[in-house]
Amino acid sequence: MHIAKNDTVEVIAGNDRGKRGKVLKVNPKSNRVVVEGVNFIHRHTKARRQGEQGGIIEKEAALHVSNIMLVCTKCNKGVRIRTKILADKTKTRTCTQCGEMIERRS
Ligand SMILES: [Zn+2]
């Protein structure tokens, strides 16, 4: 998967299209990521005990990686990336638009 934790990504599909956020969680098995401030779901909770407060809990739901793009800081937009494996086996990701390397911050 080309998206890693702490990446800045842009949403390219759905209700949150155009929104940007930081990747909080990555699930490589399901190809889903949780992005900060994006794709909120509302869960209604009821007060179960006395003194407990019921209400609405807002929480980010996971998005499929196909719905997001990595943001290139140089292009300042969501871009396609190219993955290259160097001689020492480190993986690099470069922007296909400007060739800038996008480092992993996790
Ligand atoms: Zn770029």
Distance (angstroms) between ligand 1 centre and the Cα of 17 equals 20
Residue numbers of the domain that contains 67: 8-95
User: pLDDT (tens digit, 9 = 90+) per residue, 44-89?
Assistant: 877 777 777 778 888 899 999 999 999 999 999 999 999 988 899 8
Domains identified in the chain, total number: 1
CATH of the domain at 23: 2.30.30.30
Residue 82 neighbours by CB distance under 10 Å = 12
Look up residue 11 and give its two tokens.
Answer: 């949403």
Structural domain contains residue 22: yes
Predicted pLDDT of residue 72: 96
Distance (angstroms) between ligand 1 centre and the Cα of 5 equals 19
Predicted pLDDT of residue 106: 61
Q: Which of 49, 23, 45 is CA-nearest to residue 36?
A: 23
Structural domain contains residue 31: yes
Beta partners for 21? 9
Distance (angstroms) between ligand 1 centre and the Cα of 55 equals 43
Predicted pLDDT of residue 23: 97
Does the predicted model carry a pTM greater than 0.75? Answer: yes
Structural domain contains residue 27: yes
Structural domain contains residue 16: yes
User: pLDDT (tens digit, 9 = 90+) per residue, 6-42?
Assistant: 999 999 998 899 999 999 999 999 999 999 999 988 8
- Give the span between the Cα atoms of 105 and 14, in whole angstroms: 26
Structural domain contains residue 101: no
Structural domain contains residue 23: yes
Predicted pLDDT of residue 63: 95
Beta partners for 70? 9, 79
Is residue 65 helix, strand or coil? helix
Structural domain contains residue 87: yes
